[in-house]
Amino acid sequence: MLRFIQVIVCNLPRIYMIPRMSYKAKSKKITEEKRYAYARLTVRRMNRSGHISTIAYGTENLPKEGGYVMFPNHQGKYDALGIIATHDKPCSVVIDDAKSHVILTTQFVDMLHGKRMVKNDLKQSVRIISEVAEEVAAGRRYIIFPEGGYYHNHNEVREFKPGAFKSAMKAKAPIVPVVLIDSYKVFEEWSLKPVTTQVHYLPYIPYEQYKGMSTREVSDMVHERIREHIEKVTRRQQ
């Protein structure tokens, strides 16, 4: 939280970026590439003022063409920003509606044309799943957190919700397991010391590999790959 306050204070001279994000979110003249570039500029400025560094590993594992869905472990408020900072091609995010209506988050999600999911509204959730599947099939890329939230579990991964994988499976799209390391340190630790987080893009799973599997089987497979990679990285750090 201390670092979050520092980021806000240091960027007060750039408060004009908030209405600018809102404008870019609504304008039909601004391409997805330009909106995404502005989102990454926002993250870079935030990282610079907050002494945050994010290192990417395995970007060569990302599909070269077409849409896909990235499934990361969830540690905190910085998670999606860390991915966006290291992911060159435009992508968007599915976020819990209840956590999306605060200043900066609202404008950021709107600018990325992200999806807000109401957890206790089954009809709305089904609609969002279908919308994401259609957009991914058409070539868009999404971030979906299969844990459904973050629980201050640091570099440990909790159980995945199988339903989170329905959009990718419906789109018959590649699934990209993503491992986040030390992402929680950005806004959870009460410190202003420089912090470095890691984003590991694991080899993607093509549709042909999971075709015929249930959502539970796909969920367990992705969960195990992420869990094993977290253990391998954290052992090296000890």
**pLDDT score for 103:** 86
How many CB atoms are closer than 10 A to CB 57?
16
pLDDT confidence of residue 2: 86
Residue 190 is predicted with a pLDDT of 87
Query: Quick one: pLDDT at residue 206?
Result: 98
Query: How much is the pTM?
Result: 0.95
φ, ψ of residue 144 in degrees (nearest 5): -130, 130
* Amino acid at site 141: R
Strand 52-57: give its sheet, edge to edge.
Answer: 52-57, 195-201, 175-181, 68-72, 141-143, 92-96, 115-117
Instruction: From 231, 55, 72, 47, select the one nearest 149 (Cα to Cα).
Output: 72
**CATH code assigned to 2-237:** 3.40.1130.10
CA 113 to chain CA centroid, nearest Å: 13
Q: Which residues of the chain have pLDDT under 70?
A: 238
**Cβ atoms of residues 71 and 146 within 8 Å:** yes
- Per-residue pLDDT of 40-61, as tens digits, reads 999 999 999 999 999 999 999 9
pLDDT at 168: 98
